[in-house]
Amino acid sequence: MNCLKIEDIYGYLENELPAELRKQVEEHLKSCRGCQRLVEDRKVYLESLSSLPDYHLPEDFTERVLSNLPDLRSPAKVWLALAGGLYLLFSLFVVILVIGIKSSLFPIILQIFKNIFHIATSLSQFIFQVFQLALGLFKAIQVFLETVGGFLKEFLPEKSEALMTLIVTILISLAVSWFLTKSIQSSQRRENHEK
């Protein structure tokens, strides 16, 4: 018999092995020092686990955890429907392609098929990237507004909501301007690099 698998060791220690397999394990343990050490280590481990006190979760534990999870509903249903429509078109062209193999329109149908497949693939990638960027931007703005709002509440009088709104608007405008400037510079560098 080869050296024991971890499942066999636990099965042996918990008396869950069939009689024949148990005899094979015992025979193997008589001659294999490595497996003897593994069995002893696992035995100590199981004994230490059995000495731990039982822990019972509060009854409202699940509700509390679920209430702290972020909302996972997707706001991109329109984009997903559009991608699904393109895939439907793609499927229809597959059928047309199969039917049209023997016709003279085959090269034209094949080219249309390739173009629609390329558009659907590109659109799916684009939708995924836009969704990721929009979600990231939304979360960043949310954290930014919460941080700046909390910071400004510490230093401004209570009745200065208009001033606080103005400051946050200026900060957001500066952040958007910086982002757009970096994007334009990046695209200009790409264009210069391609030339």
Segment 25-78, tens digit of pLDDT: 999 999 999 999 989 988 888 888 778 777 777 888 788 877 776 665 555 666
Task: Evaluate whether 80 touches 127 at the Cβ level (below 8 Å).
Answer: yes
**This prediction's pTM:** 0.32
Task: Evaluate whether 4 touches 38 at the Cβ level (below 8 Å).
Answer: yes
Parse the chain into domains and list their residue ranges.
6-50, 75-134
What is the DSSP secondary structure assignment for residue 75, as one 8-state letter? S
SS3 26: helix
What is the DSSP secondary structure assignment for residue 106, as one 8-state letter? H
Residue 49 tokens, joined: 């686990």
Task: Evaluate whether 19 touches 25 at the Cβ level (below 8 Å).
Answer: no
Which of 127, 143, 124, 142 lies closest to 75, judged by CA? 127
Segment 95-148, tens digit of pLDDT: 766 666 666 666 776 777 778 778 777 777 787 777 787 787 778 777 777 776
How would you write 103-170 as a 3-class SS string?
CCCHHHHHHHHHHHHHHHHHHHHHHHHHHHHHHHHHHHHHHHHHHHHHHHHHHCCCCCHHHHHHHHHH
Q: Which residue has the tokens 């869950």?
A: 16
**Distance between CA 120 and CA 126 in Å, rounded?**
10
